[in-house]
Amino acid sequence: MIEDAGAKPIRKIEQGKADLDTYGYCIHRDLLTRGETRALLERLDEQAHLEREAGVAWLGNGARGGNTWMGYPRDANGTAPWQGIRTLLNKGRVFIDLAMNATILDYMRHAFMGREFYLSSTNGLILRRGAVPMVTHTDQLYVPFQTPIPIVTNVMICLSDFVEEMGATRVVPRSHLGPPPKLELDLTKMDLYNSEPIETIAVECEAGCAIVFDGRLWHSSGAHRSDRTRYSVSTYFALPFVRPQDDYPASMRDDVYASLGDAERAMFGFKTGPLGRIDPRFPGDRTNVDFKAPFIPELRAGGSSHAIALVQKDKNAEPNAFAPEAVKRPDNGRRGGR
């Protein structure tokens, strides 16, 4: 049983910074107004709904790894226990404004000790009944050594209440001060698991709060056992020193790209491994050699923009093996529920 009760929701940023240093995370209350929270929730929910409708949704059971796919929901109600909405900067001005929130950036300057940083990703996360806990991990698990300060720092923006039965984020307070948790790879599921039992506590707070956590903090999502849906946006920042000097996915000429094989493209940055996701800017645009992404613009009900879906190459393909072809709606013909 964890005796450390961990951080409590606060409104004063200086207390939040102190909690971040002490516990590895803090809970900033009322980061957003009710109107701002509602606007983000409505835009995220609409985008998620239309991505499911178009068969381009990033879906799964909550565990990630081999338990995720891109396409249509596979359950009878037309949703999924877990849905991620990627590349939010392309999907509404409200998400750009969120990434530039002054309080969030103040926390980042503190976490990175005044060093330059940049936005690494911003994704929507939706959990419903049946979502399983994610493996307890750190957000910089790909770094093969301990670091004296975080290389990455995440801010989870709560667009709904976070309570334990809704799969609230779970943490190990003060774990950012030590080594990362032990992880093993399950080759049958292509997913990580904890080789030793880990006790965690749920981070509970209200909609409009932000959970700021050090990239070294041990954490996971929890099991979702409620009929209420959990909505959030992850804004994930990083130090820039591991970026390549030349950004080839952005700057390479089209004729040079067309002349390359997959191994060459992978070496030049067109591979996730696990960072570097490339979502196409237009149909047929460049994407990763190891994880093909569908074209997904900002989608609005009744709007003129449309997504271009992917399908699996064959029914026996791995969950993330896709080819850029037209997608047929599942046999049940159900439309994704909201």
- How confident is the model over 221-248, as pLDDT tens digits? 999 999 999 999 999 999 998 888 899 9
Name the CA radius of gyration of the chain, rounded.
20
Cβ atoms of 107 and 215 closer than 8 Å:
no
For 309, the token pair is: 């879906």
189 band by pLDDT with thresholds 50, 70 and 90: low
Contacts of 330 (CB under 8 A, 6+ apart): 72, 74
| Contact in structure between 231 and 41 (CB atoms under 8 Å) | yes
Interval 58-85: pLDDT, tens: 999 988 777 889 999 988 888 999 999 9
Which sequence spans correspond to the domains of the chain? Answer: 9-238, 244-293
Q: What is the dihedral of CA 286, 290, 294, 297, to 10 degrees?
A: -60
* DSSP label at residue 114: T
Q: What is the pLDDT of residue 320?
A: 42
Report the pLDDT value the prediction gives residue 324, as an integer from 0 to 100. 36
Non-local (6+) Cβ contacts of 334 within 8 A are 76, 77, 78
The reported pTM is 0.87
pLDDT single digits (tens) 119-175: 999 999 999 999 999 999 999 998 989 999 999 999 999 999 999 999 999 999 999
Element (H, E) at 100: none
Amino acid (one-letter) located at 234: S
59: phi then psi, degrees, rounded to nearest 5: -130, 165
Could you tell me how far CA 310 lies from the centroid of its own chain?
A: 20
**Facing residues of 232 across strands?**
125, 158
Q: How many other C-beta atoms are found inside a 10 Å radius of the C-beta of residue 108?
A: 20
Name the pLDDT band for 191 (thresholds 50, 70, 90): confident
Q: How far is CA 114 from CA 21, 107, 108, 111, 239, in A?
A: 14, 10, 8, 8, 11
Mean pLDDT of 23-33: 98
| CATH class name, domain 9-238 | mainly beta
**CA–CA gap between residue 25 and residue 216 (Å, rounded):** 10
Q: Which residue has the higher pLDDT, 140 or 314?
A: 140
